């Protein structure tokens, strides 16, 4: 079994990913979604946590001249710190906005301008939070080697956004692998898999259609 499919099995097994096409979750944006992903759950399982970090390390090996690791707050921080420890590299993390007190930092830790940083995120949805972190790092003088993440919804718009920002993106698992694993294990039916595939192509239209039918 390939790595994306193996990791997808782990995500489903511990409930880091939940699939509910008949009873969708509501995101903070108000959109309805048939999937919920919380990779922080993985931190409670040492064996799976170790496997995830090893897979992230392998993905990082495809990036050139990585000299530091930058985690995206908040969920990217623990996985980024564990990866930095595994690779023996300096670590910083990037807040979503400047801290409102003290030194008012956006980037915590000692960033070395001119060094090439690998950005670590737990989940790629639209890619917005990750690319904002990339922008903050670049403004602080860092070079960006690329981004690695545990899981991606594989939204076409997100893939285009990373390409436009000239940021290589590698993930250790993805939406297609998750659907393959969930279907083959019997966790979802073929009809539910089709609904989940439709959602990925146009989440807003899927959400609006579900809401109108509810």
Q: Is 99 labelled a binding residue?
A: yes
Q: Is 124 labelled a binding residue?
A: yes
Angle at 195 between CA 125 and CA 4, to 5 degrees: 50
Q: Locate tokens 């921080």: which residue?
A: 77
Q: Is 127 labelled a binding residue?
A: yes
Q: Is 125 labelled a binding residue?
A: yes
Cβ neighbours of residue 89 closer than 8 Å, sequence gap 6 or more: 66, 67, 68, 69
Q: Is 101 labelled a binding residue?
A: yes
- Cα 123 from Cα 59, distance rounded (Å): 15
Binding site for orotate: what residues are annotated? 125
Binding site: what residues are annotated? 95, 99, 101, 121-129
Binding site for 5-phospho-alpha-D-ribose 1-diphosphate: what residues are annotated? 95, 99, 101, 121-129
């Amino acid at each position: 079994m390939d790595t994306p499919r193996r990791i997808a099995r782990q995500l489903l097994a511990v409930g880091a990913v939940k699939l509910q096409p008949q009873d969708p979750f509501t995101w903070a944006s108000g959109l309805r979604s048939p999937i919920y992903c919380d990779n922080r759950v993985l931190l409670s399982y040492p064996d799976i946590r170790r496997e995830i970090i090893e897979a992230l390390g392998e993905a990082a090996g495809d990036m050139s001249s990585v000299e530091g690791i930058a985690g995206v707050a908040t969920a990217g921080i623990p996985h980024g710190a564990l990866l930095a420890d595994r690779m023996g590299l300096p670590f910083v993390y990037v807040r979503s906005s400047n801290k409102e007190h003290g030194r008012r930092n956006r980037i915590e830790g000692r960033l070395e301008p001119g060094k090439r940083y690998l950005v670590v995120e737990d989940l790629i949805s639209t890619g917005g939070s990750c690319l904002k972190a990339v922008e903050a790092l670049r403004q602080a003088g860092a070079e960006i080697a690329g981004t690695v993440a545990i899981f991606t919804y594989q939204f076409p718009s997100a893939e285009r956004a990373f390409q436009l920002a000239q940021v290589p993106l590698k993930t250790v698992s993805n939406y297609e692998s998750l659907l393959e694993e969930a279907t083959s294990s019997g966790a979802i039916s073929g009809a539910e898999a089709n609904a989940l595939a439709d959602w990925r192509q146009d989440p807003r239209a899927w959400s609006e259609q579900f809401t109108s039918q509810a």
